Structure 1
Amino acid sequence: VLVNFWATWCPPCRDEMPSLNELYKRYKNQGLIVLAISTDRSDSGVIDFLSKHPVDFGVISDPDAKTSRQYKVFSLPTTFLLDKNGVVVKRYLGEEEWDSPETRNEIKKALGIP
């Protein structure tokens, strides 16, 4: 599972969405789940962004930052990789290139793919 905290007003967040979506499409049949949690205060900007830049994974809102505080997210984007047991195995701070060999190997390891 990848849990991605992001916002529409965050340029690095917007920039990494296409490669995050490609990563999801590549590994969804092997069990990858991606959940993007928007920290925007209103849904209108999120809806507008997603209408122009659709993604294939789930997107939910955290307008009061309750979930962000639980995960101790202080900068965006921040993404957590959880293994099959729900244990956080990696925390990515800042924009990530989700197509890099290193990142793909981390995802495969978390999914139990050789």
Structure 2
Amino acid sequence: MNKKKRRLLIRTTILILLAAAVAYTLYANFTKDERGQIQAGDHAPDFVLTDMDGEKHKLSDYKGQGVFLNFWGTWCKPCEKEMPYMNSQYKEFKDKGVQILAVNVSESEFLVNRFISKHGLEFPVVIDKNGDVLNAYGVDPLPTTFLINPEGKVEKVLTGTMTEEDVKKYMGSIQP
């Protein structure tokens, strides 16, 4: 095979690979809304994750209580800003039938423990090591919070930072 034919073959192959990559990216972006996107009115998918003390938390074990299910990361500044508000309201609502489950998105126990200590968090913090729960709920972006009523249905999906007044209002809305 001469140089010109070989060069043409290589260029054609690269062009086909690039076209395939672009096509896949477009497909993935246009169909991401259909994959595991939980919305208000849906039944909250059950899961079991372990907290920093080794205790297992199964969402269905909280049936009969409201659950403020928050997805977050230590690197996420909006997440960090709302954590003290969540902690403050957790103290107010935990004995009134509303629980907080904070799901960290695949970070190390060291980073998560350091974050918990820095902010004095008292509510259960679990790590979604494989991203299974994140994918099941279709979370994007962080922070995202799901308000789950005592019957296990999603009342509302919230994205972005909340004020302390927001957290109080939303926790009150899922109180049994």
TM-score, normalization by structure 1: 0.89
Give yes or no for the alignment of 1:97 onto 2:160: no
Q: For residue 5 of structure 1, what is the aligned residue in structure 2?
A: 71
**How many residue pairs align between the two structures?**
110
Q: For residue 50 of structure 1, what is the aligned residue in structure 2?
A: 116
Q: Say which is worse superposed, 38-47 or 70-79, in terms of deviation.
A: 38-47
Query: 5+ residue gaps in structure 2?
Result: 1-66
Q: Which has the larger radius of gyration?
A: 2
Q: For residue 70 of structure 1, what is the aligned residue in structure 2?
A: 136
Q: For residue 109 of structure 1, what is the aligned residue in structure 2?
A: 173
Q: For residue 63 of structure 2, what is the aligned residue in structure 1?
A: none
1:15-94 map, 5 Å: 15-94=81-160
The structure with the largest helix share of the pair is 2
Query: 5+ residue gaps in structure 1?
Result: none
Q: Give 1:108's aligned amino acid.
A: G
Contact 2:70/2:100 (8 A) holds in 1: yes
The alignment-based identity, stated in percent, is 36
Q: Give 1:42's aligned amino acid.
A: S
CA distance in 2, matches of 1:41, 1:52: 16
Contact 2:144/2:160 (8 A) holds in 1: yes
| CA deviation after TM superposition for structure 1 residue 40, in Å | 3.6
- Aligned alpha-carbon RMSD (Å): 1.4
CA distance in 2, matches of 1:83, 1:53: 27
| CA deviation after TM superposition for structure 1 residue 99, in Å | 2.3
CA distance in 2, matches of 1:54, 1:106: 22
Q: For residue 80 of structure 2, what is the aligned residue in structure 1?
A: 14
Runs of 4+, deviation exceeding 4 Å: none
| CA deviation after TM superposition for structure 1 residue 25, in Å | 0.8
